Structure 1
């Protein structure tokens, strides 16, 4: 795959550093990670759902956090202490992956997590884009010359 050099664009742009970093990450070898599998769905005009297959993980084994437009989902099996619960069986073949993982998602501006649920081995993370009033487009009234003269005369 080709590598692009974005350094000439850094000279003539301001505030696009994050965009260029995201483009650089597309070609990084970290993107080859395929565990655990996930889906991203659009559930409404301004709502999304990320579904991650986390078979074998409990709620206590999973951590979800957001920081600076990055959503991180981590899974780490907690091993039971010696002497707790039923005796462990010897595993003859392990086909269900139970390894620790961390999956990161870059979120757009004004997108935040509205909830999460673990159901039938699937972790559902709901996201909502809420644009603040100050960032929404607004109509500006145009004052004609007559209106300005009337206000000055008053």
Structure 2
């Protein structure tokens, strides 16, 4: 018995990669680091923007890496374990993480800023030109 998915319709052509991406996102259940996503109003002549803000307490700029890979924004963090300190209690772990956000076609990263333990990544999507293209029909008899 085959599995029916929303993307198995014959009218949705080329969406198989989106289905795989959604399945991968459903499996990633780690909630660290916590984040917010907010919509920022556009200024005159520019489209609205999005801002992703991640809680990065204890991370320095050198501990963080932001990349875009195949329509994904990937934020990675790696803290080095301080072996010189002797802890009586350690409730704040030096840990690593990877947080992925799937970006729609045309989304681009404007910039990132680390301030007061919060990493803000700004994104925008320029208004795409609406193209109408006529397809010629060739007749073969």
TM-score (norm 2): 0.76
Residues 126-145 of structure 1 aligned to structure 2 (within 5 Å): 126-131=122-127, 135-137=128-130
Alignment of 1:15 onto 2:17: no
Alignment-derived partner of residue 144 in structure 1: none
Aligned residue pairs total 126
1:40 aligns to 2:37 (yes or no): yes
Relative to structure 1, is the Cα distance of residues 18 and 121 closer, same or farther in structure 2, using a 3 angstrom cutoff? same
C-alpha displacement of 1:25? 3.1
Deviation at 1:8? 7.6
Which residue of 2 is the match for residue 85 of structure 1? none
Report if aligned partners of 2:51, 2:123 keep a CA contact under 8 Å in 1. Answer: yes
Shift in Å, 1:109: 1.0
2:107 aligned partner:
111
User: Which one of 56, 70, 73 corresponds to residue 71 of structure 1?
Assistant: 73
Moved more, 68-77 or 38-47: 38-47
Cα distance in 1 for partners of 2:78, 2:93 equals: 12
For structure 1, the residue ranges without an aligned partner over 5 or more in a row are 83-87, 140-154
Runs of 4+ in 1 over 4 A off after TM superposition: none
**In angstroms, what is the RMSD of aligned CA positions?**
2.7
> Is the CA contact 2:81–2:94 (under 8 Å) kept in the aligned structure 1?
no
Residues of 1 paired with 2:25 and 2:119: CA distance? 25
1:19-60: CA deviations, max 9, x gaps?
Answer: 3223323532x2x20111111111125200000111111000
CA distance in 2, matches of 1:74, 1:26: 16
CA distance, structure 2, for counterparts of residue 16 and residue 26 of structure 1? 16
Taking the aligned partners of 1:8 and 1:128, their CA distance within structure 2 comes to: 27
CA distance in 1, matches of 2:105, 2:22: 17
**Structure of higher CA gyration radius:** 1
Please give the TM-score of this superposition, normalised by the length of structure 1.
Answer: 0.70
- Corresponding position: 1:102 with 2:87: no
Unmatched tracts of structure 2, length 5 or more: 42-46, 133-141
